[in-house]
Amino acid sequence: MLANNPSITITPDKAFYRPGERVLLRVAASAGTQVEATIRYLADTITTMTAPLNNGQAELIWTPPQAAPRGYGLDVRVLGADGQTLALASGALDVLEHWMQAPRYGFLSHFEPGRDNITETMERLARYHVNGLQFYDWQHKHEDLLPEADIYTDFAGREMSVTTVKRLIEAAHAHNIAAMPYTAIYGASVGFYRQHPDWALFRAPGQPYEFGDNFLIIMDPTPGSRWATHLLGEFARVLDNTAFDGIHIDQYGAPKNGLNAAGEKVELESVFPAFINVAAEVVQAKRGDGGVTIFNAVGNWPVDTVAPAEQDAVYIEVWEPYRKFLDLHKIVARAEQLGGGKPVIIAAYIQPERAHNVRLANALIFASGGYHLELGEPGAMLADPYFPKYGMMDEALQGVMQRYYDFLVRYENVLSLDTTDATETRAAALTIEGVKTDGRRSQERVAVIVREGAGREAFSLVNLVGIDTGDWDRPVTQAPTPMRDLKVRIYTKGNVTRVWAASPDGEDIRPQMLDYTKGQDGSGAYIEVRLPRLDYWTMMVLDYAT
């Protein structure tokens, strides 16, 4: 939670809170005698708390209402002895029944013996509200997930430790962070293939598919096949011998079909969902209703068949041809529809030094109701599909990400939870005087993304004016052109009672009430409002009489 005074920090003890669970917030400040914290639900104040600062430290304890899922804003003032405000900080927390209601998915990729920053890692992740972690390449072998000994070597020659894996899981759970083990649906070592040559998936009789240079062989994952039965047994063994919360299943995007050992055609777009369903049965048997199954639709394929399958989220790794910024919105919106409202997690790898790309991509994903797999190891940001090749955020970007994740959590009840995408039908209802808002290009326009919920509409404005490329995966070297005092007209769907705006781009992410006027013309009833500023992303919310 970023403060406009860098000497103040706020640390929640959990990544999220379950109904009835106590919230503990630790405030550290370099000056002041007291802290005052205001809790808000969207634009409404819930309560205010105070606590003394002793040696620069204060603790705030609050038990939220039972209502869930719900995000809350947290606004803290540090006061001097005379009651004067010395510093402000804005942040968030949320109450969920299960982390998959709002899966802020992150990653871990270091499992070496004696890892000594586990506590620090989980505290940092809780500050970003990351509530689920993919343990990437934690396994002994693709076909033999758990080693017999504590110390083992993975396929890349890295020394690993089962004890470290288990300590990370335990520490994650202490902060309400779920732990998910990476697995691959059809990858096996060359040695394993040679032992079981008829378990493979073949490009032609006797010619198995290979992945990488003599690295892995692609096996036949058809449920009932020898390989599928073996891998499902490995899933059960992992869940029996660790506290992992489910199974994360990867694929490689190719091949898309092949032959089994009998020469019969195997179409993976139908095999994948069938395998997901059987894997979900294993997870259900071992973890009950709290267990989670996730499958990677690489390159958005085959999202049509896997999104409705018995997985808990639609997880999509974005590749060609989805290069444009606005493709991110389209992917999230369509996946949400195909999945029947399941949460959508996007893996789009961006180098952290491309800060404009990071901000715009997150604005589009979050405004669309999605989540972005990008944070995990301390200070890191995913930059490559092989997770250990992550990049490191500088201090400025870490602050930006703190605000964006606080914003995501604080306003989740208008951005994602219990809302649906209404962009296709409602984006045109908003216009900005002198600014292009229509069209399909990912440049020289303000993109309008609309989420609709009970009694509210959220119009997100994402600024693509002035950037030098519309591709999220190419460096944006020019920031969007800042805009001020925008005259906005929105054709409404009912009786508007309140209009407010918020943005993660400044230090103050609190809701700002906006004055508005009502009007009517041949197109219907509308409101007009002056929006003070738009940098990267500003959200406008219309509250309707119900």
What is the band of 8 on the pLDDT scale with cuts at 50, 70, 90?
A: confident
Using the CB atoms, write b or e for 388-397: b if 16+ within 10 Å: eebbebeeeb
pLDDT tens per residue across span 208-247: 999 988 789 999 999 999 999 999 999 999 999 999 999 9
| Superfamily in which the 9-95 domain is placed by CATH | Immunoglobulins (2.60.40.10)
Residue 2 has pLDDT above 70, yes or no: no
Query: In terms of CATH architecture, what is 420-544?
Result: Sandwich (2.60)
pLDDT tens per residue across span 145-186: 999 999 999 988 999 999 999 999 999 999 999 999 999 999
Query: What is d(CA 405, CA 134) in angstroms, rounded to the nearest whole number?
Result: 18
Structure tokens at 413: 């009840």
Residue 410 has pLDDT above 50, yes or no: yes
What is the average per-residue pLDDT within 530-537? 98
pLDDT tens per residue across span 495-509: 999 999 999 999 899
CB-based contacts of 243: which residues, under 8 Å, 6+ apart? 166, 169, 170, 173, 179
pLDDT tens per residue across span 17-75: 999 999 999 999 989 999 999 999 999 999 999 999 999 999 999 999 999 999 999 99
* pLDDT given at position 3: 40
Asked if the domains at 9-95 and 99-415 fall in one CATH topology, the answer is no
Phi and psi of 496, rounded to 5°?
-75, 130
Does this model's pTM top 0.95? My answer is: yes
| DSSP secondary structure letter of residue 37 | E
Q: Using an 8 Å Cβ cutoff, are 170 and 243 in contact? A: yes
Query: Which residues in 7-108 belong to E strands, given as ranges?
Result: 9-12, 23-28, 34-41, 44-52, 57-62, 70-79, 85-95, 105-108
Residue (of 318, 277, 327, 313) closest to 299 by Cα position: 318
Query: Which residues in 394-510 belong to E strands, given as ranges?
Result: 420-421, 430-432, 446-453, 456-463, 483-491, 496-502
| Superfamily in which the 99-415 domain is placed by CATH | Glycosidases (3.20.20.80)
* pLDDT given at position 1: 39
The DSSP element (H or E) to which 526 belongs, if any, is: strand 524-534
Domain chopping of the chain, boundaries: 9-95, 99-415, 420-544
